[in-house]
């Protein structure tokens, strides 16, 4: 927002100064060109600063993921306790990296006054990170201040509304699902059909999956459509969506105990 104001003021000053040497038309054109140029230059400068912070956040997450992968490989070679205990250790490492990413994201705040959309974009990212930590109070606080463009952000909004008994989640799905396709469609349609099945609305869920098949060829969507079409309601499952599904925390992945080789 401040970028627009500053560029407009500079444009007016330049245009007014130009009026004394050129005619009104050239003065207006000159002021407009200068205003646009200033806005582009300031916008580019802010974008570079924001990109560096984004890269820093990505670096935190990548470094953490690499460490988690090394830990997981170490557990395969030399298990430490039960599978659940090792899982908790991995989750602790993941959560620490998320909190560090949240801390780094605070560096964006000083740029909010330059771009009125930036705050909403960062709020969306922070909301997703808080959801990953299952800090639902923070999620609910940030939700009204977010940009609901990312399918996972929309999914979280639908989940929170559903959990609170707010039936407007149906309207949110209807509005946000229109332009989705491929994996983005699979996530949102998979979620919505899961809710409908939970609510006993299997006929409606079947119709939703028929609509979903027009937008995605995701195998899980197709299988769930087949299950409902043939009355196999108990076999309905979004497990095939993998981490994309389990990251919504509606169901826990079933872990099959495996024998691990010990190295001595």
- Quick one: which of 116, 158, 166, 114 has its CA closest to 3? 114
Helices (H) and strands (E) in the chain, counts: 11, 0
- Tell me the pLDDT band of 65, cut-offs 50, 70 and 90: confident
DSSP state at residue 209: H
pLDDT at 64 exceeding the cut of 90: no
Contact 35, 11 (CB under 8 A): yes
User: pLDDT digit string (tens) for 108-164?
Assistant: 888 877 777 888 989 999 999 999 999 999 999 999 999 888 899 999 999 999 999
For CA atoms 120, 246, 209, 200, the dihedral sign is: negative
Contact 26, 18 (CB under 8 A): yes
**How high does pLDDT run on average in the chain?**
80
Name the residue with tokens 């826990």.
Answer: 252
Q: What pLDDT score was predicted for residue 32? A: 55
pLDDT at 18 exceeding the cut of 70: no
Reported pTM: 0.77
- Quick one: which of 109, 151, 113 has its CA closest to 126? 109
pLDDT at 85 exceeding the cut of 60: yes
Sequence-distant (≥ 6) Cβ neighbours of residue 38 within 8 angstroms: 6, 7, 10, 11
Give the integer Cα–Cα distance in Å for 239 and 100: 30
Name the percent of the chain lying above pLDDT 70.
Answer: 78
- Tell me the pLDDT band of 171, cut-offs 50, 70 and 90: very high
Give the burial string for 152-174 (b: 16+ CB within 10 Å, else e).
Answer: bbbbbbbbbbbeeeeeebbebbe
- Tell me the pLDDT band of 20, cut-offs 50, 70 and 90: low
């Amino acid at each position: 927002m401040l970028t627009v104001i500053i560029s407009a003021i500079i444009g007016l000053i330049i245009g007014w100064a130009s009026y004394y040497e050129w005619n009104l038309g050239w003065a207006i054109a000159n002021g407009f060109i200068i205003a646009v140029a200033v806005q582009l230059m300031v916008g580019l400068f802010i974008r570079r600063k924001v990109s560096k912070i984004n890269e820093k956040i990505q670096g935190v997450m990548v470094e953490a993921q690499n460490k988690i992968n090394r830990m997981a490989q170490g557990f395969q070679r030399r298990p430490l306790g039960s599978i659940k205990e090792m899982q908790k250790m991995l989750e602790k490492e993941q959560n620490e990296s998320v909190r560090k990413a949240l801390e780094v994201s605070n560096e964006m705040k000083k740029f909010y006054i330059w771009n009125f959309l930036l705050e909403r974009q960062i709020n969306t990212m922070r909301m997703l990170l808080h959801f990953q930590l299952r800090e639902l109070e923070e999620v609910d606080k940030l939700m009204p201040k977010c940009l609901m463009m990312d399918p996972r952000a929309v999914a979280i909004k639908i989940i929170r509304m559903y959990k609170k008994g707010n039936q407007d989640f149906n309207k949110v799905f209807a509005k946000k699902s229109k332009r989705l396709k491929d994996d983005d469609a699979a996530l949102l349609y998979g979620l919505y059909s899961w809710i409908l099945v939970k609510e006993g609305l299997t006929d409606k869920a079947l119709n939703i999956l028929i609509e979903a098949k027009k937008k995605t060829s995701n195998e899980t969507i197709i299988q769930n459509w087949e299950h409902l079409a043939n009355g196999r309601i108990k076999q309905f499952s979004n497990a095939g969506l993998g981490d994309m599904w389990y990251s919504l925390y509606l169901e826990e992945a079933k872990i099959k105990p495996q024998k691990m080789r010990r190295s001595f």
